[in-house]
A and B are shown apart, each in its own frame.
Chain A
Amino acid sequence: MDRMACVDLPAFPLQLLIRSHAEWRDRPVAVVDADKPQGKILWVNERARSFRILPGMRYAAALSLAGGLHAAEVSKKEIDKAVSTLSRRLRSLTPHVEPAEEDPGVFWLDASGLERLYGSLSNWAGLVRSELTRCGFHGTVVAGFTRFGTYALARSKRGVIVLRNAADERAAARRVPLDRLALDPDTRDTLAKLGIKSVGKFMDLPPEGIERRFGYEAHRLHRLASGVLRLPLQPERPSPPAMQRLILDHPETDVGRLMTAVERLIKPLLETMAASGHSLSRIHVGFRFERLGDHLEAIRPAAPTLDAAQLLELIRLRLEALRRLPDGVVEVILAGESVTATREQLRIFADKPRRDPAATHRALARLRAELGDEAVVRAQLREGHLPEAGFAWEKVDEVPVPKPRDVDVNALVRRLYTRPLPLPSRPRHEPDGWMLRDLKQGPVVRVLGPYVVSGGWWNKSVHRDYHYAETQKGELLWVFYDRARRRWFLQGRVE
């Protein structure tokens, strides 16, 4: 069974502030949104609370209550940098880490399959907490089964908690007070007036009324808490360091020939960086000698760049001081340190396309010659009610540079059969259920529809009742009943 863990570092911006000012640890400290008298207090520590300084108060008002109050802003950039550093440290203990987008200080970790590596999940969770302590943070680690369950418990408990089974997690999550969760304060107060102060009581509410009464966010929380919406872990995708290496056939001592090897490597290195939106701020050129071991040279251009010619010139200058190397080089390695590239740098780099359009078109011409003009096509959408009328295939002569839309919709794709496949007629009695195609698929267990497509009465009348049929084996088939032909057809399947 898949396991998930949640790490909660409470009052994360406050922890960041105290971490960077260790001398403030025993004093009243607050995080403000702006370092001026009208600035609003966002987070306070226990010492400040003892002076009755609370979040929401103005900085000037807080100073009047505690003259020794230390406060500062914590910028989003600092928070993002700390989250990124912590994610990197946590990735040494688990392959997948998902920092919460809207709740800095909360991380979900993939805890599956780690028992064998660490002895037990408790050991692993303890190591996670120790790692956080080493980084200067305190927090809670809960190893459980679901995103919401682990999150709710991490927000309400302290220390390290490992849940043995999903039922224990559900029962414990139900007892968590609602005010521990990121719920809109007005919604929370209204629920409290109705006597709903725990997650369990919130989950017992009928879902239909929640969106109407409390809005989309409360409804989403309800779906997460009740397990209706189960979001898998969406781990971060860190960019691997840009590196290129070349093993030479023979040990090389000539600097000129080594530069040829460097020239072969620098273009793919810069392409990798440009693809991730970075430019090179420093390049490390490594030589592995046959007997003398490794040597590394670090070269920094005047400014971060993606210009191969400039970098090659700098490397050449560094190596030209030598006439001959002390030993034969058997491997050349280039590694780059990167920074975020400017739009101009990426534009200049992108203007030189990676792929040769002429080569693309020549390949298509060869295929047209071999397979026929009708064999190389592209899809064009059309207005049409029937699925097969919603697009057409047209011949391709030239391929433009792809311009996909910016909107990202995760949608399932259907497979369409060019000619709908006729299905066997349904017998009157189906003792084993509706067998759509053959016994291997099993009978149909669920049918959605009908979705009627009807028209064309002026030409050739069409009336189709479209359905989705799910078989016992889980196949989702796209079928329709053609009223004119009185027959079932298979249009395609969801894949």
Chain B
Amino acid sequence: MIAGSRAGAPASQPNAPVAGGVRRGLVVPDAPAVWSLSAFTGRLGEISGGYTSAALTLAFRLVLEAQRQGEPVAWIAKRGSAFYPPDVARMAVDLDALVVVWVTETLVAARAADQLVRSGGFGLVVLDLGERARVLPPVQTRLAGLAKKHRTAVLCLTEKDREHPSVGSLVSIRAEAVRTHQEEDHFLCEARVLKDKRRGPGWKHREVCHGPDGLR
């Protein structure tokens, strides 16, 4: 009943189509890259931005998407600086279900993230690290492995220009978030993917956002 359909076929022929659309080798997705939670799920990612950063805004779009999928979300931030909750509430994010963990430094943030991701109880864990943040290689290895195992998106937010390296070599996807003013209270927020180990860099995402009251 079951017999090999291609006897003597060579061992590897990347992406050669076989019966019913099942391909050999690495599955190259047909759909183009999309800025969504699925692009970060199971990976260690980074969103960075310089003076014209839109990192918080784009990160919260992912938080909203995670919440819409019923995924618990945790936000790890250093005391002294965090998102402004009324702006986040305006975006429709459920603040009651958004856990915020206060930490003192990057190493503590990474340990907290390790605990949260290891539990398997979160779909998205965001580390708001600020300037000059580096995550040690052993910590990166653990976070990347746990993210993959539990299908959690682990996202680092940093303040830096695109020329600066990412928080670590095990970051699987890194995007630069840039904000430009269009007209009145319309701002164009753009994510330029600088690194993507799955699809390759170079793809972008754009959306138009409204500024807070009084900002035009």
Contact residues of A with B, CB < 8 Å?
91, 95-96, 223, 228-235, 237-241, 243, 245, 268, 275, 284, 286-289, 291-298, 321-322, 325-327, 333, 335, 350, 353-364, 366-367, 370-371, 374-381, 387, 390-391, 393, 396, 399-419, 441, 448-449, 451, 466, 468, 471, 473-476, 492, 494-495
Residue B136 CB within 8 A of the other chain: no
B119 and A359 contacting across the interface, CB-CB below 8 Å? yes
B83 and A413 contacting across the interface, CB-CB below 8 Å? yes
B126 CB to nearest chain A CB (Å): 12
Q: 20 other contacts beyond A293-B18, A402-B68, with CB at 8 A cut-off? A: A96-B32, A228-B183, A289-B4, A291-B7, A294-B5, A294-B9, A296-B20, A367-B101, A371-B112, A376-B100, A378-B96, A396-B99, A403-B97, A404-B93, A412-B210, A416-B82, A448-B214, A448-B216, A449-B214, A473-B52
A292 and B7 contacting across the interface, CB-CB below 8 Å? yes
B116 and A363 contacting across the interface, CB-CB below 8 Å? yes
10 CB-based A-B contacts, threshold 8 Å = A91-B32, A371-B112, A378-B99, A379-B100, A402-B66, A402-B68, A410-B91, A412-B87, A413-B87, A448-B215
Residue B182 CB within 8 A of the other chain: yes
What is the 8 Å Cβ interface bit string for chain B, positions 170-214, against chain A (1 contact, 0 not)? 000000000110110011111000000000000100111111101
Q: For A381, list chain B residues within 8 Å (CB).
A: 85-86, 89, 95
B51 and A475 contacting across the interface, CB-CB below 8 Å? yes
| Chain B residue at smallest Cβ distance from A492 | B84
Q: Which of A245, A289, A377 contacts B27 (CB 8 A)?
A: A245
A404 and B5 contacting across the interface, CB-CB below 8 Å? no
What is the 8 Å Cβ interface bit string for chain B, positions 1-43, against chain A (1 contact, 0 not)? 1111111110000000011111010010111111010000000
Q: With the chains together, A475 CA to B187 CA distance in Å?
A: 13
Q: For A237, list chain B residues within 8 Å (CB).
A: 31, 34, 36
Q: Which of A96, A294, A321, A359 contacts B18 (CB 8 A)?
A: A294
Q: For B57, list chain A residues within 8 Å (CB).
A: 411-413, 495
Q: Which of B20, B54, B96 contacts A335 (CB 8 A)?
A: B20
Which one of A230, A232, A243, A412 has the greatest number of beta carbons of chain B within 10 Å? A412
Residue B107 CB within 8 A of the other chain: no
Q: Which of A322, A363, A393, A396 contacts B122 (CB 8 A)?
A: A363
What is the 8 Å Cβ interface bit string for chain B, positions 46-79, against chain A (1 contact, 0 not)? 0001111111110011001011111111000001
Q: Which of A95, A298, A401 contacts B203 (CB 8 A)?
A: A95
Q: For A417, list chain B residues within 8 Å (CB).
A: 80-81
How many residues on B have C-beta within 8 angstroms of the other chain's C-beta atoms?
A: 100
A355 and B2 contacting across the interface, CB-CB below 8 Å? no
Interface secondary structure of B, over-half rule? mixed
Q: With the chains together, A101 CA to B160 CA distance in Å?
A: 38
Q: For A409, list chain B residues within 8 Å (CB).
A: 90-92, 210
B22 and A333 contacting across the interface, CB-CB below 8 Å? yes
Q: For B182, list chain A residues within 8 Å (CB).
A: 229-230
B70 and A411 contacting across the interface, CB-CB below 8 Å? no
Q: For B30, list chain A residues within 8 Å (CB).
A: 240-241
Asked, given contacts A354-B71, A359-B119, A402-B70, whether A410 binds B210 with beta carbons under 8 Å apart, the answer is yes
Q: With the chains together, A292 CA to B2 CA distance in Å?
A: 10
A376 and B18 contacting across the interface, CB-CB below 8 Å? no
Q: For A293, list chain B residues within 8 Å (CB).
A: 4-9, 18
Q: Which of A367, A400, A405 contacts B97 (CB 8 A)?
A: A400
Q: For B80, list chain A residues within 8 Å (CB).
A: 417-419
A495 and B53 contacting across the interface, CB-CB below 8 Å? yes
Interface secondary structure of A, over-half rule? mixed
A401 and B121 contacting across the interface, CB-CB below 8 Å? no
A412 and B179 contacting across the interface, CB-CB below 8 Å? yes
| Chain B residue at smallest Cβ distance from A298 | B20
Which one of A91, A360, A377, A407 has the greatest number of beta carbons of chain B within 10 Å? A360
B2 and A287 contacting across the interface, CB-CB below 8 Å? yes
Q: With the chains together, A245 CA to B89 CA distance in Å?
A: 39
Q: With the chains together, A414 CA to B122 CA distance in Å?
A: 25
B212 and A402 contacting across the interface, CB-CB below 8 Å? no
B101 and A292 contacting across the interface, CB-CB below 8 Å? no
Q: For A326, list chain B residues within 8 Å (CB).
A: 2-4
Q: For A363, list chain B residues within 8 Å (CB).
A: 115-116, 118-119, 121-122
| Chain B residue at smallest Cβ distance from A361 | B121
Q: For B90, list chain A residues within 8 Å (CB).
A: 409, 411
| Chain B residue at smallest Cβ distance from A474 | B52
Residue B45 CB within 8 A of the other chain: no
Asked, given contacts A335-B22, A359-B121, whether A374 binds B85 with beta carbons under 8 Å apart, the answer is no
Across chains A and B, which 3 residue pairs bring their CB atoms closest together, nearest first? A292-B4, A360-B121, A293-B6
Q: With the chains together, A449 CA to B32 CA distance in Å?
A: 43
Q: With the chains together, A448 CA to B211 CA distance in Å?
A: 12
B18 CB to nearest chain A CB (Å): 4
A114 CB to nearest chain B CB (Å): 13
Q: For B119, list chain A residues within 8 Å (CB).
A: 359-360, 362-363
Asked, given contacts A326-B4, A401-B97, A468-B214, whether A355 binds B84 with beta carbons under 8 Å apart, the answer is no
| Chain B residue at smallest Cβ distance from A396 | B99
Q: With the chains together, A308 CA to B30 CA distance in Å?
A: 26
Q: With the chains together, A356 CA to B33 CA distance in Å?
A: 30
Q: For A287, list chain B residues within 8 Å (CB).
A: 2
Q: With the chains together, A376 CA to B85 CA distance in Å?
A: 16
| Chain A residue at smallest Cβ distance from B60 | A413
Q: For A374, list chain B residues within 8 Å (CB).
A: 102
Q: Which of A229, A360, A412, A468 contacts B183 (CB 8 A)?
A: A229
A404 and B64 contacting across the interface, CB-CB below 8 Å? yes
A495 and B85 contacting across the interface, CB-CB below 8 Å? no
Q: For A268, list chain B residues within 8 Å (CB).
A: 151
A418 and B94 contacting across the interface, CB-CB below 8 Å? no
